[in-house]
Structures are given as structure tokens and as C-alpha cells.
Structure 1
Amino acid sequence: MELHVETLFKMDGFSIIDADLSGDEVIVLVNQDDPVVNWNERTLRLPFHLSSPFIRLLDSETFLVVDVTHEGTPGNAWVIDGRGSILHSFHAGNAIGAVAVNDTGIWIGYADEGVFGEGISTEALVCFSRTGEVLQRYQSDFVRPPTIVDCELLKANQTGVWLCPSIWYDLIHVDSTGRLNKYKTPKLLHDSSALTVRGQVGYFVKDGLLYRWPFGKRERPHIVAKVSGNARGLAEDGRFHFIQIGDYEVSGVQLVNE
């Protein structure tokens, strides 16, 4: 197996905060004193301050910005169109650790400060609609969910999300219909920084190494490549498996001959 890394965006002079990739479409959030979005050869200056935000593509016409926390404010999640107009805004909880989106909704995972805090964040994982309606809550709406203390390793697929919380490190799939599947993760993969899943095979990034784990066959994980930079797993519908985000560059990472 080989890694094909393709540079998709470069920035001079200003640092990249976050980015997302859907198919071959890339959206980048840049710190230019104020937050600025680069998307489809357009530059959109956002009309609000952000502390530690996430950006995700919702479709070809809209995107999502979520800030990790906005204490005492009415909203920290914004659905925005290609002209920069805010279509919807809502409060998605505090201590946000991960954001993933698919056709079922906007999935927000929370760090342990949120899980052991107050409000919606204590659910550990929540699915919102684009208007901010709560669709699914991990602790309250699923039957006997595995205990989790955080949800910062999160990746969407077509029907729900994959997550791998710390402490017990179970690989869990949460379906939007309420179904849960759990797999015991080998100790070698504990404390991984990125995850993606293709079929019944998981790919984990840990300490600069990429591991392949065929959990469906109950095989052991093995190293397949070295990975540099800050990576995040992508959905199954694109040619790239990971997005790699540097200070001034965004790349797509594809596993060849997997």
C-alpha cells in the first residue's frame, strides 16, 4: 500500500485554522486578523470572532462553522451560504471536540470538560439538524450505549458516525436509526489522532504512523505507511481517505492499492 498526497490549497502570509474536503472540493478557514473563508475561488470574511473553530462543507452551496465554545452567547454554530449570508445559527454546546456532517445531520462530539459539565454537552455526542434542532443524543436516546467520557475522534459515514473515545477505546458505530455496533480496539491503536473507516477496515493515525485494522475479520492491526502533519479522516464517498492540514497548506491523502 502507498500513500498519494496531493496539495489542494496553499496560503502565503496567513495561517490556516481548519479546512474540509468533500470529493475534490476544498474549503479553508484562514486567520487574517478576522476569520476568512476561501472556497470555490471566493473569499468570505466572517462577521464574528472565533476562538478555536471548525469548518465543514454541508453541500455545494452551504458550509458550517462551529466554535469550540461561546460562553454566554446565543450561538456558536452557523450555517452559511456561498455569499457569506448566515442562514441559521444555534448553540451546539460547550467544550466541542469534534464535528462531522452527513445527510443525517450535524454530529457534534464533546471533550471531557463538556461531558462532565452542564447542558447538552453532557450527552457526549449529539446530532443536530441544520436549524439547530436536536435529532439524536448519545446518552439519552440510544439503548444501553457504551460508556464514553469524550468524543474527539469522530468520522461520519452515510448512515451515522464512527467514534473511538479514550479510556476504553472501543470503536463504535452509531446509526441514525439508533443501532449501535462496538468493536474492541487493540491497545496498539489507543490514543490515535485520526481515524477513517472503509467497509470493515479501520485506518488509524498514531505517532506519525498509519495502521490498517481489518476489524471485521478480527485481525491484528499493522503499519502500512508513515504520515506527517495534522490529519483527519474523511467520509467514504471521496477518493481521499484523509485531509492533512498544515500551517499554510492543505492536502488530500489517498491510500493506493488498499
Structure 2
Amino acid sequence: MRAERLTPYARLPRAYHDLDVLHSTVDAFGRAHWLLREQLKPSGPYDAVIVTVADGGSYPTQLSSVLARFPRIDSLPDGGFVVADTRSCGGDDQVQVFDALGRPSWTFRVGDGIEHLLTDESGDLWVGYFDEGVFGDPLSAPGARRWSSTGAPLWEYRPPPGTDWIADCYALNVDRDVTWVYPYTRFPLVEVRGSGPLHARTTQVRGASGVAVRRERVAFFGGYRGRRDQLTLATLTDTSVDTTGTVRLTHPDGTPLPPRRRVVSRGPRLYIQEEPRIEWLVFEIGDS
């Protein structure tokens, strides 16, 4: 099988390597962010720093009184950030919004079991949930939802004809004007565009952890049964996503990827991160 090498994308500056990496992501504008704190683990609210890497430089944003024990982060268009706790079993607000100076502004709840948290260019939050949330919390039950940055519910997944309800949101891609949902159990690729009806397409790919889309071209990353480093290439038709080939993704030097890594899906790009979580690599679907 042909190999496709990832490209280095963003790296945490060395000055911050002695801090704990709590979470990291790449936002809707292509900026990489790391949420960091001192290695001493406090029992209550803690101070943290978000380090942003973009355009060849980096800058920190100090956060105060962070509550999340298992955080997910993303940026907001006004320079602020959203920090959400993956778990919310007790019903408490789990999402904190911080302004551009790192001050906590307000909180709200979006449901237990956050697997994916991605903001779009307008600052809305797209959330995909894993099975414990879907089957344990009414807010998470749709499997994928959209919220405003003030906590107003804007949209929730309702299965289009021929598909099931979401049991686990395996992959979520938030692009400029379209969002793609790839859910368990049947693994359709569902197109969410504005307020129009959902467009579901069948796929033969099972268990992927990331999906990239550029016009009619699609790439799924990962899968079951030894396919964790496999990239499945496909094309969109009106009703299906048809596989055209497979390649193996590798490090930039050609060495294999480890089994444990994180994936952020943004339009035609797959951003991939592994331990110790100080660097992002990228694969992008080209124009041809």
C-alpha cells in the first residue's frame, strides 16, 4: 500500500514544555492552541494558559479560575476562548467562556459525554457526543448539536430518512459553510448546510476517527481491524461516498504512526497529534 507522509504544521514553543498539556486543538482559522497548567494538580479551580501558534509566531493568554477537569477548548472570533468539561454527570454548568484577556465571562451546560468540540467562524459551538452521553443525558441524546457561544441551543441532529439516530459521533468536521457528521452505527456521512434538510450518504468505511472533504473528494482516517493508520480516499455522489483507494499515513520521515493520537477535522484538512501532544501534523486533500 502506498504511503502518504504527513506535513509538520504547528509546534508548542519549548519554553512551555515543562507544563502539563490538558488539551490542544486547531481552530476554524487554522490557529493551533494548547491549554496548559503547572504539573501540580489542584483539587478546585485553577489558573492556566492557552498558547496560540499562528503565522510563524506564538502568544499566551492567561486564564483564571478554570473549572474543567477533562477539558476541551476552542477559540472565539473576539479573541476569547471556550473551555468545556467532557463530563457533566451532576448537571452543573460545564462550559466556561473567557474573554480575550482570559477572564471568565459566563457558563452554561451542553450535556455529558463531549467527544468533539469545534467552534465555527461565527463563534457557534458544534458538539459531538460519545455513547455514555447519548444514552445517559437528554441534552446529549441527539448525538450532535450546535450551540451559540452564550449557551442557546441552535440545532440538534435528527436522522434523515434511511439513517438511524446517533449512538456515538465518531467524527465531526466543521468547515466555513458546511458541517459533516460521521456517526455510529451505520456510519453514513451526513452533510449539514445552513437550515436546509440534512443530506445523508452511505459509506463503506467503518470506525474512522477523522474525515476531510474538499468539494466532491473525501478522505477518511482510521478504522477497525488494523486500519488505524489507513487513509481511505473516496468521492461524493448524490447518495453515497464511493471508495477510490487507500494509502497509509506516516510521520513526515516515513515512520509509522502510533496507535494513540487525536484528530481534528476541518474542511479539507486532517490535523493529527500524538503524545506528548506538543506538535500538530496535517494532511490536506489537494485541488486535484
TM-score for the superposition, normalised by structure 2 = 0.76
d(CA) in 1 for partners of 2:118 and 2:127? 7
| Contact 1:18–1:29 under 8 Å retained in 2 | yes
Deviations 1:40-73 (A, max 9, x none): 4114244133222111122261221111123335
Name 2:109's counterpart in structure 1: 91
Deviations 1:127-186 (A, max 9, x none): 1111100111213xx765832212241111223421111221111112231421111111
Kindly provide the amino acid, as one letter, of the partner of residue 185 in structure 2: I
| Alpha-carbon distance change, 7 to 143 in structure 1, aligned in 2, over 3 angstroms | closer
Matches within 5 A, 1:79-228: 79-103=97-121, 105-139=124-158, 144=161, 146-147=163-164, 148-186=166-204, 189-206=205-222, 207-216=228-237, 219-227=242-250, 228=257
| Contact 2:213–2:285 under 8 Å retained in 1 | no
Percentage identity across aligned positions?
21
Name 1:25's counterpart in structure 2: 31
Instruction: Provide structure 2 residue ranges, at least 5 long, that are not aligned to the other structure.
Output: 53-57, 223-227, 251-256
| Contact 2:63–2:98 under 8 Å retained in 1 | no
**Larger radius of gyration, structure 1 or 2?**
2
d(CA) in 1 for partners of 2:162 and 2:156? 11
Q: Which stretch of structure 1 is more off in the superposition, 27-36 or 162-171?
A: 27-36
| Contact 2:201–2:241 under 8 Å retained in 1 | no
- Structure 2 residue aligned with 1:56, among 57, 70, 74? 74
| Alpha-carbon distance change, 236 to 38 in structure 1, aligned in 2, over 3 angstroms | same
Q: Secondary structure at the match of 2:132?
A: helix
Name 2:12's counterpart in structure 1: 9
Name 2:267's counterpart in structure 1: 236
| Contact 1:211–1:223 under 8 Å retained in 2 | yes
Deviations 1:208-241 (A, max 9, x none): 222222233854242234243524233238xx54
Q: Secondary structure at the match of 1:113?
A: helix
| Alpha-carbon distance change, 136 to 244 in structure 1, aligned in 2, over 3 angstroms | same
| Alpha-carbon distance change, 46 to 221 in structure 1, aligned in 2, over 3 angstroms | farther
d(CA) in 1 for partners of 2:113 and 2:50? 23
Structure holding more helix per residue? 1
Deviations 1:15-61 (A, max 9, x none): 42321224452211124234432234114244133222111122261
Alignment length (residue pairs): 252
TM-score for the superposition, normalised by structure 1 = 0.84
| Alpha-carbon distance change, 218 to 194 in structure 1, aligned in 2, over 3 angstroms | closer
d(CA) in 2 for partners of 1:248 and 1:103? 25
d(CA) in 1 for partners of 2:167 and 2:221? 21
Instruction: Provide structure 1 residue ranges, at least 5 long, that are not aligned to the other structure.
Output: none
Kindly provide the amino acid, as one letter, of the partner of residue 209 in structure 1: Q
- Structure 1 residue aligned with 2:49, among 33, 36, 54? 36
| Alpha-carbon distance change, 242 to 132 in structure 1, aligned in 2, over 3 angstroms | same
Deviations 1:55-105 (A, max 9, x none): 112226122111112333531112212211123321011111211221462
d(CA) in 2 for partners of 1:113 and 1:211? 28
The Cα shift of 1:252 comes to 3.6
d(CA) in 1 for partners of 2:285 and 2:156? 37
The Cα shift of 1:107 comes to 1.1
